[in-house]
Amino acid sequence: MHATTDFARGPGGGGDRVTCTATSSRGELLNARLALGDDLRTPGDWTVAVTGRWNADARRGPVRLTRVPVEHEPWPLRQATVVGLRTNLLRARGLPAPSGPPHARWSPGVDVRIGAPRPSLP
């Protein structure tokens, strides 16, 4: 499955805003609008765990899964509030709707070093 993505950043509603859109080749959609807040200078363990990226997975051929090691500096994170959300990703995968407000963080990005692909499973 492949997806197209788009990110737009600009002022709006009295502050800095970001809109993130992803559409899969199967028609699954994620459109999230974020209001950006202050820098997150000391992220907690949960934030590090869900924002860090140490591996990427890719499918090679119809069944073979590969792991690609990823290295990067810590993300420069900002607080973010979801001010708009349209998605069918969870429902499309047979998952229940989440309860409570979404957790959001935003980063302008980091430089990344990507390693050679390796088989994920024997």
The whole-angstrom separation of Cα 98 and Cα 90 is: 9
Instruction: Quote the pLDDT of residue 52.
Output: 82
Other CB atoms within 10 Å distance of the CB of residue 80: 21
Cβ neighbors of 99 (< 8 A, separation 6 or more) are none
Q: Which two tokens stand for residue 104?
A: 């959001």
Write down the pLDDT at residue 77: 93
Q: Tell me which residue has tokens 């600009």.
A: 10
Q: Tell me the pLDDT of the chain (122 aa) as tens digits.
A: 577 888 788 876 666 999 999 998 888 898 999 999 999 999 899 888 888 878 888 777 776 788 888 988 888 999 999 999 999 988 888 999 889 888 899 998 889 898 988 887 65
Write down the pLDDT at residue 35.
94
Beta bridge partners of 20: 7, 32
pLDDT at 54: 81
Q: Give residue limits of the domains in the chain.
A: 3-111
